[in-house]
Structure 1
Amino acid sequence: MIACYVRGGGLGHLTRIRAYLHTCHPGETATILTTSPFTADPRVLGPHRLLPAVALPSLHPSTLVVDAFPAGLDGELSAASIPRGTRTVHLARLLRWDAYLPLLPADPVRFDETWLLEDLTPEHRAHFPAAAPLTLTDPPESTPRGAAEGSWLIVHSGPAPEIHELIGYARDCATAEGIRPRLLLAAPSAPHDLPEDVAHIDPYPAWPLFAEAARVITAAGFNAVRQTRPWRSKHLMLPFPRRWDDQYTRAAAARRPASAQS
């Protein structure tokens, strides 16, 4: 059995683990250990089984995949918390490593395999010397196309204040270009005070709409930056502060010209 430890309140952790499973374990069903409220949407987990994260001690998986946080969201994972005989895999993405480092326990998990999903800071990268890069591929999409054609597509799962910031950012960018585009919000739910001139749709996944949109406006989360890479020229991103995720470093890297990244 494959178990995936995916603690975090956002939608991004679940989107990333689905992409990992599709990339590395196609056709296999996994157990997702999470408390994310987004699992209420059956589109998010797809064929995979859901259990609360606290169920880990009662499981005996052949493989345990730990997403993003090598010691868990709050430092709750250690070598002693891993079921005996379990092969461990870590999915490493950018963290505010200096802030997260104090959470590592005295007996950290010694991962059998670590995948680098994006470039890390040197200090973070040094913690996983044997890590190898992995490019994720999303599962086949079922999102109907056509809804975002020609629009400025704002994609965010919340919270509501950040959605409003992204709408304001889109308006400012449109004003700078001297245009008044149709604004379309793609989100699991719309803020109760969504402006009347902003339409709302609830696609999952949203990335199939990126090709037809005139602009794509997002935060600088891992999946947003990864999935917009083919359309970087029309991607507008606004990083937000996070407890552990380093959206500012990710946004700066994504904005550099391709020649400067090679």
Structure 2
Amino acid sequence: MIVCYAQGGGLGHLTRIRAYLHTREVGDEPVTILTGSPFAGDSRVVAGRPVLSAPAGLDRDALTRWIGGTLAGLRPRELVVDAFPAGLSGELSAAIVPAGTRVVHLARLLRWDAYRPLLAADPLEFAETRLVEPVGDAHRAYLEAVSSVVAPLTLVDPPEPEPAVPTEPGGWLIVHSGPVAEVSELVAYALDVAALDGARPRFTLVSPSRPDGLPPGIAHHDVYPAWPLFAGADRIVTAAGCNVVRQLARWPERHRMLPFPRRFDDQYARAARARRPIS
């Protein structure tokens, strides 16, 4: 069995786990996902895999005990830890890992100075750390100290049928999973960009929920995954999350990003990197 630890409130953690399992060709091996994400209840996102969530209201120590007990019961062959090498609140340490379990870390860009205080005194030791995007020097130095192997991994999303969504050929997409206030801000940004470009495209918002006050003329659809729609759009307006920047790397001329502040993710650095001309 493989256990994937994807703690975080956003959709990106589960999307990355989904891509990892496809990229590594896990096949029919059982997979259990440990997450508190509200998106874990969506069968499109977890692809029917079982999900376990910690009871609400646990402090960090109680969460550590719950994870340790859950892993002891599951006894996984492999534990995959997404994004945060010590967990979202520092809840992961070497003590929670059953003997014989191989631990893999999927690393993405972090605001390392903000995250570093959460590191455990007895850190997880990773058989391999796979970088799904470049990380900062201090972050990488830590990963090299606790990992037998640190190497890049190009994620590939699993194939999907073409979504049955009536988008306009050559229209503009606005894609974001939330929060709702950010969705509204992205809509306003897309309208501003179109005005500056002198364009009057058909807009389609792809988001789990329709924000109040969505301007007339903007269609809304709840589509997951959204990336199969990208090839047919003239512009795609998004935040600067790890997955969507990866998925749109082949179409930089179509992509417009509005980064948002995050506690640990550095969307501003990621957007600046993606916008940098290739020399």
TM-score (structure 2 length as normaliser): 0.89
Alignment gaps of 5+ in structure 2: 55-65
Aligned to 1:137: 156
Distance 1:257 1:183 in 2: 28
Aligned to 1:239: 259
Q: 1:4 is aligned with what amino acid?
A: C
Aligned to 1:50: 51
Compare 241-250 and 39-48 and name the one that shifted more: 39-48
Provide, for residues 173-214 of structure 1, a one-character-per-residue CA deviation record: whole Å limited to 9, x for no partner: 111111121111001111133222211011111000001011
Alignment map for 1:22-33 (pairs within 5 Å): 22-28=22-28, 29-33=30-34
Aligned to 1:106: 121
Distance 2:115 2:209 in 1: 31
Query: What's the offset of the Cα at 1:57?
Result: 4.5
Q: 2:19 is aligned with what amino acid?
A: A
Contact 2:203 2:218 in 1 (8 A): yes
Aligned to 1:126: 141
How many residue pairs get matched? Answer: 259
Alignment map for 1:21-170 (pairs within 5 Å): 21-28=21-28, 29-53=30-54, 54=66, 55-129=70-144, 130-144=149-163, 147-148=166-167, 149-170=169-190
Taking only aligned residues, the RMSD between alpha carbons, in angstroms, comes to 1.3
Task: Report sequence identity in percent.
Answer: 62
Q: Does 1:221 align with 2:241?
A: yes
Q: 1:48 is aligned with what amino acid?
A: R
Q: Does 1:191 align with 2:211?
A: yes
Q: 2:127 is aligned with what amino acid?
A: D
Aligned to 2:57: none
Aligned to 1:249: 269
Query: What's the offset of the Cα at 1:49?
Result: 1.8
Aligned to 2:224: 204
Query: What's the offset of the Cα at 1:62?
Result: 0.7
TM-score (structure 1 length as normaliser): 0.95
Contact 2:165 2:221 in 1 (8 A): no
Q: 1:77 is aligned with what amino acid?
A: L
Distance 1:196 1:50 in 2: 38
Contact 1:4 1:32 in 2 (8 A): yes
- Give the match's secondary structure for 2:129: strand
- Give the match's secondary structure for 1:192: coil
